[in-house]
Amino acid sequence: MDVSHILDPLNDAQREAVCAPAGHTLVLAGAGSGKTRVLVHRIAWLLEAEGVSPWGVLAVTFTNKAAGEMRGRIEQLLGRPAGALWVGTFHGIAHRLLRAHWKEAELPKDFQILDSEDQQRAVRRVIRELGLDENRWAPREAQWYINARKDEGKRPSHLQAAGDPWLKQMIAIYEHYEAFCRRSGLVDFAELLLRAHELWLQKPDLLAVYQRRFGHILIDEFQDTNTIQYAWIRLLAGDSGRIFAVGDDDQSIYGWRGARVEHIQQFQRHFPDTSVFRLEQNYRSSGNILTAANTLIANNAERLGKNLWTEDGAGAPVRIYNAFNEIDEAHYVVDSIRSHVDGGGRYDDNAILYRSNAQSRIFEEVLIQQGIPYRVYGGLRFFERQEIKDALAYLRLASNPLDDASCERIINQPPRGIGQRTLAEVREQARSGGMSLWQGLHHVLEHRTLNARALNALQSFVDLMERLRSDIAGLALAEQVEQMLHLSRLREHYQKEKGEKGRARLENLDELVSAAQVFVNDEVEDGEVQMDELAAFLSHAALEAGEGQAAEWDDYVQLMTLHSAKGLEFKQVFVCGMEEGLFPHKLSIDEPGRLEEERRLCYVGMTRAREQLTLSHAEKRRLYGEETWTRPSRFLAELPSECIEQVRMNGSVTPSAAEPVAEQVDDDAAMQLGQRVIHDKFGAGVVLNYEGGGRHARVQVNFENVGTKWLVLEYARLQRA
């Protein structure tokens, strides 16, 4: 069989990885080295050259968008549909397993998925039922605790308080929350993976079926796996499964949400006889950018090791801009962007990256002042928007009356006269009787435990939901959504919200109907439909709401955190706020593991740039309401001088390797380069450089205690030693 179309587009290292012999394989894929291409071509190679059935291949990634793109590229390469090939996210595949084996997993057949916001509502309800003060026991904190334990594979029965009152209460909240979810037929995101892992542990015969089926397991972004994901992979692989893991330990930046870089570092120990391939040829960045990034990341210990290179030239030097303050920094960045556009470039060639979201304010202010269009990356996603969540809650409750989270969300949305006191009575009846909210509501109506006005309001909601459930039965999915919008009067409700915001909400509701029209129910296994179209659509919406989708824009400067930038690339990148305490973050400085993750984050930011990379820091910065004098980030000191140029306030540049010489620089200042000086706050130092003239000149001093600083001479309070 001719496989030239699979191998010809690859370089030598990619080709070796794609054609790796049967067995465990680890591909260390550097930034911009074509890792997705290798995964896609490996799958095509297995199917075309090795004769592996699509039925025996499982490919796992981290976002629905990535999974969709992967399947599309596989089918394009094959020239035909991929058939029974499983391609999906960890959560999506776990969800598929639980739908197929709901009985074995001890779940109701029509279980619903809680997204993050509805999960927080459920946790808040549990906290109230326990009679706890929400100011002390914040639902968001309890939600984080529960999800973190699930990501570690731990149930409440696995946890011990060891005399810690806070921990004891958190375990109790976790325990009651689990009971609530069982009672309501609800599954949160973290539960999907934990329950799928437990399903295999408790049903070894079922596990054996999937181990025999999936002889080839391919995993993208392997460095981002958390504890339960890694355990799930190892269990599925067993003794016979062959894992093809693609990742980069140098780009592991999600430790704060459970990712464990040691999984990729220890892969060869856990899976003996692993073949290791390194993808080091970079197709994105210029040589100077790669040299700087390679030198920076080499300061991390425990690396598996690789060195990015490019066939392109060295390109422009990496710029370091030393700003006086955050305003100076923002003006320099925005002026540089304007110069790029004036020279024929586009605004969306440019990305401004920062460690903290709070840093965006000053950039936005300057961009607005200069009339430059911009977008802060990572706004609310479609299925997270308020009006969409309201609409889906109606459909969820119609589909599953046990869904308490949806019932709570829409019982008075749009407002129908059901206040907090009425809702509290419904909650109490449900809690005391061990019922769902919907059942508690019927109990209140039957026993008339409220006044006539409240009972009428509750009855109108019940009548509405009963009619909705009846009317949508048998309709096409889009017609179900349209009928829900008609009966719920959500359109009329949001029509009252005037201006752009109200108009956007109405357009989003219309788009929900369009989404239903084009939705394809792919929950099919061996020709058998696993769930009805509405249930599949609701599950799809919940899964989509849990991950990022880039907004569409025309030509805007893009602002984003360094974490958000992973996977993206731009012609010109500005990494701002390169100061100790800000980047690396102050909470990471004293912990080697966290400091190394901060360095990896810097590496990721630097390798987003294709042609020009600028790193900036300020002498002083007002952030979080305080103004502080700062020190340059240690990461700047770790960069090689041969590919760096220092950019000054007046726009001049100085190669980093240039040595200062002793000479008279300004009659007014009466100071010389190399002269020793004393500052009343920073102590003794040596003059390294000088810019401008008169009172507004700037002088660069290397202080013995605090490092190098640029000072405005008028305010510097310097004395010759």
Q: Is 251 a catalytic residue?
A: yes
CA–CA dist 142, 242 (Å, integer) = 38
Q: Catalytic site residue 422?
A: no
Burial of residue 206 (number of CB atoms within 10 Å: 0-12, 13-18, 19+):
middle
**Strand ranges, E, within 507-602:** 524-525, 528-529, 557-561, 570-575
Give the N- to C-terminal CA distance of the chain in Å, as an integer. 81
Distant-in-sequence, close-in-space partners of 386: CB < 8 Å, separation ≥ 6: 505
**The residue to which tokens 């990712």 are assigned:** 259
Helices (H), 370-497: 386-399, 404-410, 420-433, 437-447, 452-472, 477-488, 490-495
- Which of 71, 125, 600, 608 is labelled catalytic? 608
Q: Is 526 a catalytic residue?
A: no
Structure tokens at 135: 């100011």
620 catalytic residue (yes or no): no
Q: Compute the half-sphere exposure of residue 275: CA atoms within 13 Å on the CB side of its CA.
A: 15
Report whether 393 contacts 410 (CB < 8 A). Answer: yes
Positive or negative torsion for Cα 377, 572, 601, 636: negative
CA–CA gap between residue 149 and residue 177 (Å, rounded): 13
Q: What share of the chain is helix, strand, coil (3-state, %, to 5)?
A: 50, 20, 35
Residue 471 near residue 483, CB atoms below 8 Å: yes
Pairing relation of β-strands 653-655 and 664-666? Answer: unpaired
Selected catalytic residue, list 14, 119, 251, 359: 251
Question: Which of 16, 36, 213, 533 does the annotation list as catalytic?
Answer: 36
Place of tokens 């958000």: 564
Instruction: Give helix 386-399 / helix 533-545 axis angle, nearest 10°.
Output: 140
Alpha-carbon torsion (581, 585, 587, 590), positive or negative: negative
Q: Are 618 and 320 in contact (CB under 8 A)?
A: no
Active-site option among 191, 220, 611, 645: 220
Which residue, among 194, 309, 297, 188, has the nearest Cα to 249 in the 3D structure?
297
Set 14, 15, 35, 188: catalytic member: 35
Q: Is 221 considered catalytic here?
A: yes
425 is catalytic: no
CA gap 26, 17 in Å, rounded = 9
Catalytic center residues: 35-36, 220-221, 251, 608
